[in-house]
Chain A
Amino acid sequence: MKLPRFSRKTLCIPYAVFLVFFVIIPMLVIFFYAFTDSNMHISFANFIKFFSDPTKLSTIVYSLVIALITTVVCLVIAYPVAYILARSSMKRKFVILMLFVLPMWINFVLRVNALRELFNLLASLKGLEWIAGSNYFKTVFGMVYDFLPFMILPLYTTMLKIDPSLYEASADLGASGFTTFTRVTIPLSMPGIMSGVTMVFLPSMTNYVVSDMLGNAKVTIIGKFISDYFGNDWHMGSMIALVLLVVVFVSTWLTGGFKSEENVRGANL
């Protein structure tokens, strides 16, 4: 018996099957759970309960605000760093970039723990006692600390691609340094800004490890909320997860994240 001729296309079958079973079907299961009650009857009770509960809605708004502040702070710190590094004429600037990426390879939870210990030390100093109680400050600081490399990398990669002669041309045509920056650098680095913003904004809205470990369990973001419901009510948990899913996909669509096939999370390093 002759085997059917090998075709390169068939190679995508294992991955496609994997995705159907472990990505698509689980998403449908969540959808199913969100709109059923504990007897598996179709029910909109969770939907109504969710949108009429002020604590749930305020948690969403609140997570969005924390994520927004984190993203803006990351951008404000990362943009100059990426700009300085990309335009520097230093021979080994790659080494400095590596220094920014290196902490990412230490276990995430251990890194947050290290920051926790630093805050504990600072809070024991005179004049800095306020740190102990400022859970929001610590949470946002921790998120910036953890997600900063995700912002620096895409910014650096796009800025490196900008042709330096464009800066010269801009200067030759009489633009000031500031005008060159706003009219040349910023527009051309927009793709990097967008992918950095997506990579910082989404996890900071949902990654509750940071807020749990640094916020003394006083800061509840939406990710934590889902995990709390996970213990007792899967239907409500699925409803919140579904809402989060919609929020995440809308914000990704708004920032154009679907289009980019660019490597993320420093894959190209």
Chain B
Amino acid sequence: MNKQLLIKCLKAFFVGLVLLVLYAPILLLAVYSFDKTDMIGRFEGFSLTHYAALFENSKVLGMIGNTFLLAFLAAVLSTVLGTVGALGMFYTKKRVKMLIHGASQIPVINAEIVTALSLTVTFVAIGLGRSYFTLLIGHMVICTPFVVLSVMPKLKQMDNSLYEAALDLGASPFKALWKVVLPQIVPGVISGFMLAVTLSLDDYIVTMYTRPSGFETISTYVYNATTKGNAHTAVTLASLWALTTIIFVVIVLFVVVSNLSGIRKKEASK
């Protein structure tokens, strides 16, 4: 019996250890973001200086706004394009479907740097240059295939006879799609949207190459601040710790709240 207990402890220890390593850097930043100084390793005293610096800096606020607005726009457009595309692919001939699916998989499999390079070279070659439009297209290229990938399985699980029934009952094909098919694939559409948001928020490489000059997102800003030294940047690295902590807390809250409401719903339905 003791041996089983030992194995159980070992398992818990292993999972715990991996989690500890995964969270150690973030927790370290969270602790030192409340320090007076910007030295990691010595805690001089509690202070909110770094947080104040973050919110006083209009450049930083602008870059945070940029990041979220871009992610939102890219995710909405990708979700619409991807959902409509997935519907069309689902009902079209198999050969056409395979062709579109194959093309759609290219940005998924491809290295981001190759996608970024190919897009930028094309934009410049046809005279579009680099603008907010090219940036948005760049983000849509990396997001939309994932929307298609998350909507497709829901279409396959769907009961097809419901659509036929709607037509028999006199609904127009468009109305039948909107009222009967769409509600059945909503979970896939939502997870596709969420995925598109995270992909866009996370992206550095495509943003770096397709953005208009002077446009900064969190990714490009932090990357440049840390690799090229922060002499020319307006914010200290310590403010970035504060930013990391805020984002982390928001995410934890979001997950906890959505989990709790999920559990409550389940219990209510029992």
B169 at the interface (CB under 8 A from A): no
Q: Which residue of B lies closest to A20 (CB)?
A: B103
Q: Which residue of B lies closest to A152 (CB)?
A: B18
B261 at the interface (CB under 8 A from A): no
Interface of A, helix, strand, loop or mixed by DSSP: helix
Q: Which residue of B lies closest to A207 (CB)?
A: B112
Residues of B within 8 A of A223 (CB): 111-113, 205
- Complex CA gap A263/B40 in Å reads 40
Residues of A within 8 A of B84 (CB): 11-12, 14-15
Is A11 touching B14 in the complex (CB atoms < 8 A)? no
Of B141, B149, B248, the contact of A106 (CB 8 Å cutoff): B248
Residues of B within 8 A of A110 (CB): 218, 222, 240, 243-244, 247
8 Å CB interface, A86-140 against B: 88, 95-96, 98-100, 102-111, 113-118, 120-121, 124
Residues of A within 8 A of B148 (CB): 15
A190 at the interface (CB under 8 A from B): no
- Complex CA gap A257/B105 in Å reads 10
8 Å CB interface, A216-269 against B: 217, 223, 226-227, 230, 234, 237-238, 241, 244-245, 248-249, 252, 257-258, 261, 263-269
Say how far A104's CB is from chain B's closest CB, in angstroms.
7
Q: Which residues of B line the A interface, CB within 8 A?
A: 11, 14-15, 18-19, 21-26, 28-29, 32, 40-41, 67, 81-82, 84-89, 91-93, 96-97, 100-101, 103-115, 117-122, 125, 137, 140-141, 144, 146, 148-150, 152-153, 172-174, 177, 191-192, 195, 198-199, 201-205, 209, 218-219, 222-223, 226-227, 237, 240-241, 243-244, 247-248, 251-252, 255, 259
Q: A12-B84, A23-B103 are in contact. List 8 more A-B contacts (CB 8 A).
A: A12-B87, A12-B96, A27-B106, A100-B22, A106-B247, A117-B25, A117-B40, A261-B153
6 example contacts (A-B, Cβ-Cβ < 8 A) are as follows A20-B103, A27-B106, A81-B14, A96-B15, A226-B113, A268-B150
